[in-house]
């Protein structure tokens, strides 16, 4: 994100982001008597140096319901070793985790605010309490290449652990092989070669993804499958909603970290959930008179709050690209400061507003309600209920009706009518994807994208008009604003010209379902 955008941590009065790095590692179970592996003969390993053994003592924290563990997230306070402190480990793709670090501090049991905030959408107003203690006696072999750079670390761990709600002491031995940073695309192949040496020594892949998971095995509350929480085979739309609720929680963390495009992606997840619920409102009891009808309103409100930052982000990128493409002599006056820098300031303000909303009891109540929806047993499909193909056809019919209305709309109403088509295309796209009508989803996405470009042009032209008026009042040259406005008009015209063809392709795809 551009340096002029205020980072989230500053918005909360935190001096700087915690340290972080990505771990790419594999874990192995071994017997107590297993002899350490040899890395001799590997062309990538020039030498191996062993460090003295040291002891690591860690207390792990979670909610009473183990909400973090259910999503393969660990939070610990560890003493000993070179990286003692608070560690938050987040999934980062297959075989990788992002570790976020904060200093130990003075209190043993007070989770740092900056780490708690990163998982606030999962924790909400629930307490974080100790759930396990793990002591590790570790020996590390550092593997160096011919240039003297560390390429990997091999850890031989003797582990003693206690679950907080159990008295039994657990003991085991395990190995870890972790790549050093900077391997890029060759990392997986290198990890495979190193892992083969561990297999040759008698190791087997670890039965658990982390030490904590092993400690808590058998004591874990019923929370569903961690990889696909709340998944229900009976209803593909139900499954799609569950997946998007998980995506919402993932993008929530990214927004709090001010990751690029994260506000956009969180807003997309929010709107997908709303569209899917509307498409199957009876199944989820969210129709107008139903108990959960308020959820749709709250999702709309959340998308609206996120939209302030998102729209500003789009405008900043749009104007920066457009101004860079213009000859320098056509960029007159402080237009870049007004359009690009001004949009970035709006983004920062919108981001702060989003974060306030994401820390509120109102937001937690919405997340609680969404989890209840996907956890509830879906109703058995009654004989008279429309099959999925008819649901897709019904949504397509509504979209076509909106298209006919747009064709007859007066010029002043055209933009709103086209925006209505876009919203219905979006609902059709998400529902079709959920029920496996992939071609329909693809064609609906094309319509949505086309009209999204048109809507962005509408928003941009309104913004350009306001900024041109402000520039004129300040005695500035407004030539460039008019030039950009004309470009936006042309873009909108091209989008409208391509709409009929996109709708015809969508019609054809629906007929084949």
* pLDDT of the residue at 181: 79
* pLDDT of the residue at 160: 95
Neighbours of 265 (CB within 10 A): 19
* pLDDT of the residue at 345: 96
* Residues 241, 247, 253, 259, CA torsion sign: negative
* pLDDT of the residue at 23: 83
Mean pLDDT of 108-136: 92
Residue 500 clears pLDDT 50, i.e. is over it: yes
Using CA atoms, how far apart are residues 85 and 426, in angstroms rounded to an integer? Answer: 46
Percent of the chain whose pLDDT exceeds 70: 88
> For residue 289, what pLDDT band results from cuts at 50, 70 and 90?
low
Using CA atoms, how far apart are residues 175 and 155, in angstroms rounded to an integer? Answer: 6
> For residue 232, what pLDDT band results from cuts at 50, 70 and 90?
very low
Name the phi and psi angles at 322, rounded to 5.
-65, -40
> For residue 405, what pLDDT band results from cuts at 50, 70 and 90?
confident
> For residue 220, what pLDDT band results from cuts at 50, 70 and 90?
low
* pLDDT of the residue at 9: 38
> For residue 104, what pLDDT band results from cuts at 50, 70 and 90?
confident
Chain mean position to CA 102: 22
More confident residue, 77 or 392: 77
> For residue 188, what pLDDT band results from cuts at 50, 70 and 90?
confident
* pLDDT of the residue at 388: 61
Per residue in 305-335, pLDDT (tens digit) is 999 999 999 999 999 999 999 999 999 999 9
Specify the range with the lowest mean pLDDT, choosing from 115-124, 222-231, 440-449: 222-231
Mean pLDDT of 413-428: 89
> For residue 165, what pLDDT band results from cuts at 50, 70 and 90?
confident
* pLDDT of the residue at 109: 73
* pLDDT of the residue at 266: 96
* pLDDT of the residue at 91: 87
Q: What are the beta bridge partners of residue 178?
A: 25, 153
* pLDDT of the residue at 288: 67
> For residue 379, what pLDDT band results from cuts at 50, 70 and 90?
low
Q: Hey, what are 256's tokens?
A: 């709090």
* Residues 358, 359, 364, 367, CA torsion sign: positive
Mean pLDDT of 362-390: 74
The pTM is what? 0.82
Are the C-beta atoms of residues 215 and 132 closer than 8 Å to each other? Answer: yes
- The DSSP call for residue 340 is I
Residue 298 clears pLDDT 60, i.e. is over it: yes
* pLDDT of the residue at 224: 40
Residue 145 clears pLDDT 60, i.e. is over it: yes
Using CA atoms, how far apart are residues 155 and 151, in angstroms rounded to an integer? Answer: 14
Residue 12 clears pLDDT 70, i.e. is over it: no
Q: What is the mean pLDDT of the chain?
A: 86
| Per-residue b or e along 397-416, where b marks 16 or more CB atoms closer than 10 Å to that residue's CB | eebbebbeebeeeeeeebbe
Using CA atoms, how far apart are residues 159 and 75, in angstroms rounded to an integer? Answer: 18
Specify the range with the lowest mean pLDDT, choosing from 348-357, 371-380, 395-404, 493-502: 371-380
Per residue in 270-286, pLDDT (tens digit) is 999 998 888 777 778 77
Long-range contacts (CB closer than 8 Å, 24 or more residues apart) made by 153-160: 153/177, 153/178, 153/180, 154/37, 154/39, 154/194, 156/36, 159/134, 159/135, 159/211, 160/134, 160/135, 160/136
Residue 105 clears pLDDT 90, i.e. is over it: no
Domains of the chain: 8-216 (2.40.320.10), 238-379+409-511 (1.40.20.10)
Specify the range with the lowest mean pLDDT, choosing from 126-135, 379-388, 420-429: 379-388
Per residue in 126-143, pLDDT (tens digit) is 999 999 999 999 999 999
- The DSSP call for residue 412 is G
| Per-residue b or e along 216-249, where b marks 16 or more CB atoms closer than 10 Å to that residue's CB | beeeeeeeeeeeebbebeebbbbbbbbbbbbbbb
Chain mean position to CA 119: 12
Mean pLDDT of 75-89: 91
Burial of 31 (0-12, 13-18, 19+ CB in 10 A): exposed
């Amino acid at each position: 994100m551009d340096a002029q955008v205020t980072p989230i941590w500053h918005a909360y009065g935190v001096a700087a982001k915690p340290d972080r790095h990505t771990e790419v590692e594999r874990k192995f179970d071994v017997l107590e008597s297993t002899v350490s592996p040899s890395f001799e003969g590997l062309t990538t390993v020039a030498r191996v140096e062993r460090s003295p053994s040291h002891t690591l003592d860690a207390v792990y924290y979670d909610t009473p319901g183990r909400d973090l563990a259910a999503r393969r997230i660990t939070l610990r306070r560890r003493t000993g070793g070179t990286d003692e402190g608070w560690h938050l480990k987040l999934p980062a793709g297959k075989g990788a985790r992002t570790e976020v670090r904060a200093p130990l501090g003075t209190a043993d049991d007070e989770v740092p605010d900056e780490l708690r905030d990163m998982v606030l959408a999962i924790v909400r107003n629930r307490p974080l309490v100790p759930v396990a203690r793990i002591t590790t006696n570790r020996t590390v072999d550092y593997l160096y290449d011919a240039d003297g750079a560390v390429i990997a670390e091999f850890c031989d761990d003797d582990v003693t652990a206690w679950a907080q709600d159990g008295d039994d002491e657990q003991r085991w031995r395990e190995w870890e092989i972790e790549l050093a940073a900077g391997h890029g695309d060759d990392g997986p192949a290198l990890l495979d070669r190193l892992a083969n040496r561990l297999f040759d020594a008698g190791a087997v892949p670890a039965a658990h993804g982390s030490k904590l998971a092993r400690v808590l095995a058998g004591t874990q509350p019923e929370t569903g499958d961690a990889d696909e929480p709340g998944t229900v085979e009976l209803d593909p739309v139900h499954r799609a909603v569950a997946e998007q609720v998980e995506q919402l929680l993932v993008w929530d963390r990214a927004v709090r970290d001010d990751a690029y495009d994260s506000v956009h992606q969180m807003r997309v997840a929010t709107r997908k959930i709303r569209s899917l619920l509307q498409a199957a409102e009876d199944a989820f009891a969210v129709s107008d008179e139903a108990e959960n009808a308020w959820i749709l309103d709250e999702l709309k409100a959340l998308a609206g709050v996120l939209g302030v930052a998102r729209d500003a982000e789009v405008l900043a990128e749009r104007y920066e690209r457009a101004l860079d493409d213009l000859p320098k002599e056509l960029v007159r006056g402080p237009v870049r400061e007004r359009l690009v820098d001004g949009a970035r300031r709006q983004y920062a303000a919108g981001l702060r507003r989003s974060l306030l909303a994401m820390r509120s009891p109102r937001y937690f109540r919405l997340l609680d309600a969404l989890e209840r929806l996907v956890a509830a047993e879906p109703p058995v499909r009654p004989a008279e209920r429309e099959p999925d193909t008819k649901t897709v056809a019904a949504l397509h019919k509504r979209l076509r009706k909106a298209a006919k209305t747009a064709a007859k709309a007066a010029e002043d109403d055209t933009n709103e009518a086209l925006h209505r088509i876009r919203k219905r295309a979006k609902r059709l796209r998400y529902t079709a994807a959920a029920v496996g009508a992939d071609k329909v989803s693809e064609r609906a996405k094309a319509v949505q994208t086309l009209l999204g470009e048109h809507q962005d042009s509408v928003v941009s032209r309104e913004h350009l008009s306001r900024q041109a008026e402000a520039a004129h009042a300040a005695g500035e040259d407004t030539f460039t604003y008019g030039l950009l406005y004309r470009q936006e008009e042309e873009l909108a015209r091209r989008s409208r010209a391509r709409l009929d063809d996109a709708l015809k392709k969508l019609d054809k795809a629906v007929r084949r379902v």
